[in-house]
Structure formats: structure tokens, C-alpha cells
């Protein structure tokens, strides 16, 4: 995976905060990509940071198909992106 500038991203170094009704956990981006929102289809990353430096990162470090925001869900619904979690309930 690459960032918006085309630079490679170390998925294990990026931590994302997931907006969730029962609290906002911070998880590795690699875990989010692997599992997605599960049954909470509108759960999504809202912040990102580097694990190694603590530096806040733009959400653009997350590929659009994995952001699970309005823009990414529209792109998936329109067929412009493949659904990364087609078996998720919702």
C-alpha cells in the first residue's frame, strides 16, 4: 500500500483510532484492513498516527477502499472500488 504521494506505507507502523459507539479503540492499520468494521458497517477510522514516532498522520495514509466513510462507501456502491469486506454483516 502507498500513501497519497506514492510512498510505501508500513502498515504495522500506522495506528488508527476507530470511531465506535462504545469507545474509540486504537488498532494497527493492518488489523483494520484484515477485519474491517464487522457488523457495525458505519464504524470507521477517524485518526491515524505513526506507532514509531507518535506523529499524527493524515487519513489519506489509509487507502480509500479501507476508510469506510461516505466517499469510500459510495465508490464501492458505484463499482469504482471493490468491497474489501464483502462478507461483513450489515
Tell me whether residue 41 is in a domain. Answer: yes
Does 82 fall in a domain? Answer: no
Domain extent for 66: 14-77
Q: Specify the number of domains making up the chain.
A: 1
pLDDT digits (tens, 9 = 90+) for 26-72: 999 999 999 999 887 889 999 999 999 999 999 999 999 999 999 99
In a domain, 1, yes or no: no
In a domain, 39, yes or no: yes
Q: Evaluate if residue 3 carries a pLDDT over 60.
A: no
Look at residue 34 and tell me if it is in a domain. Answer: yes
The pLDDT assigned to 5 comes to 62
pLDDT for the residue 10: 87
Assigned domain for 8 exists: no
DSSP assignment of the chain: -B-TTS-B--TTTEEEEEE-TT---EEEHHHHHHHTTTT-TT-EEEEEEETTT--EE-GGGS-GGGT-SHHHHHHHHTTSS--S-TT---
Cα–Cα distance measured from residue 47 to residue 18, given in angstroms and rounded to the nearest whole number: 7
Predicted TM-score of the model (pTM)? 0.85
Contact between 43 and 20 under an 8 Å Cβ cutoff? The reply is yes
Q: Is residue 25 in a domain?
A: yes
Amino acid at each position: 500500500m502507498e500513501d497519497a504521494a506514492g510512498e510505501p506505507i508500513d502498515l504495522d507502523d500506522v495506528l488508527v483510532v476507530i470511531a465506535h459507539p462504545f469507545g474509540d479503540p486504537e488498532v494497527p492499520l493492518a488489523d483494520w484492513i484484515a477485519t474491517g468494521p464487522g457488523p457495525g458497517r458505519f464504524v470507521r477510522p477517524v485518526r491515524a498516527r505513526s506507532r514509531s514516532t507518535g506523529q499524527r498522520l493524515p487519513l489519506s495514509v489509509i487507502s480509500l477502499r479501507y476508510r469506510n466513510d461516505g466517499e469510500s462507501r459510495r465508490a464501492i456502491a458505484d463499482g469504482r472500488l471493490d468491497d474489501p469486506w464483502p462478507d461483513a454483516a450489515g
